[in-house]
Amino acid sequence: MKEKILHLLKEYEKSFISGQRISKELGVTRTAVWKYINILKEDGYKIESVSKRGYRLISSPDLLSFEELNEKLITKYIGRNIMYFQTLGSTNNKAKELALSNAPHGTVIISEEQTEGRGRLGRNWSSPKFKGIWLSIILRPDTDPLNVPKVTQVGAAAVIKALNELDINAYVKWPNDIILNEKKVCGILTEMSGELNKVNYVVMGIGINVNTDSSDFPEELKNTATSISLETGKYIKRKELVSKLLNSFELLYDEFEKEETIKTSVSICKKNSILLGKEIKIINRGKETYARAVDLSDEGELMVQYTDGIVEKIVSGEVSIRGLTGSYTPR
């Protein structure tokens, strides 16, 4: 009911709508309307109440609910079903649970806070309330399981595209990190449930440090992690960034699923790569080797050249990649 009342307030934008009209349209008492209006105020909505005129929405908080995101979404299926939570252990875990319950393709799980956020290789991810973007997307691609790692490049390209639309220049540290001013600002975690030749579902988790303060990061991460606001000096509207991210993701994902290519995503990741042309350390099952990152293949694989001149393709998910100097300054 709260969402329906909010929808009516937004429909009338900044003009007044009477409590009687809300009551009549929604089939609830005026007392119930008053009760839900107060709940909305507690959520951060500024609503003016005037006797004999009704209620008027003045402004909305930066929440990531469907009602707040919908007006800027131009997608057909990504985010058309949004499951919104105040607190979750992990959006990826919730997404996998919902995927098993037949949640539709394109369902987005968003939480204002994660208490057990995690990144690739099981690393912890700090996810403070109302300060970042913690979301997961349920996908059901009709493709060979071997193609699923490509989706990570789609996610990385979508994040870069969305940030660029906000005049923020960030870089991709293949395969799943987004770097801003040499520090990690976003991580992507892609997980799959499938059989030998069938994908049951894919869950893509995206965590972005948006307005996170330096005090929110654990001491051991302060030299390697950052937030968009810390680097730009500006408060970023999270709902604007999420809308742009989901719009970009659907556009790029359509190319993957319908045209069976990630050409556009690879182009974006290549143009904004922070590794290409650099010496890197490749960590695979505890073994370390050194090479130069030379290119991204059309399939999103990292092309590396070893000291003996041999060029090899590295598939996303196989290895951990690190720079030799700790510097990510793009060339």
Q: What's the pLDDT tens digit per position in 38-68?
A: 999 999 999 999 998 999 999 999 999 999 9
Top-level CATH class of 2-59?
A: mainly alpha
* Mode of pairing for the β-strands spanning 108-111 and 132-139: antiparallel
Say if residue 92 carries a ligand binding annotation: yes
What is the homologous superfamily of the domain 66-271 according to CATH?
A: Bira Bifunctional Protein; Domain 2 (3.30.930.10)
The pLDDT score that the predictor gives to residue 116 is 83
What's the CATH fold of domain 279-323? SH3 type barrels. (2.30.30)
Tokens encoding 8: 């009516």
CB 13: neighbour CB atoms within 10 A? 9
Rounded CA-CA distance 214/196 in Å is 44
Q: 185 near 208, Cβ under 8 Å?
A: yes
Percent of the chain with pLDDT over 70: 92
Q: Which residues of the chain have pLDDT under 70?
A: 118-126, 316-320, 322-331
Beta bridge partners of 59: 46
Task: Classify burial at 285, counting beta carbons within 10 Å of its beta carbon; exposed 0-12, middle 13-18, buried 19 or more.
Answer: exposed
- Domain boundaries in the chain? 2-59, 66-271, 279-323
d(CA 242, CA 74): 12
pTM tops 0.75, yes or no: yes
CB 42 within 8 A of CB 33: no
What is the predicted pLDDT for the residue at 329?
47
Whether 26 contacts 11, CB under 8 Å: no
Side-chain half-sphere CA neighbours of 245 within 13 A:
29
The end-to-end CA distance of the chain, in Å, is 53
80 is in an annotated binding site: no
Q: What is the pLDDT of residue 321?
A: 72
pLDDT of residue 118: 62
- pLDDT, tens only, 60-73: 999 999 999 998 99
Residue 114 to residue 97: CA distance in whole angstroms: 16
Identify how many contiguous H helices and E strands the chain contains and give both numbers.
Answer: 9, 14
Q: What pLDDT, on a 0 to 100 scale, did the predictor assign at position 317?
A: 55
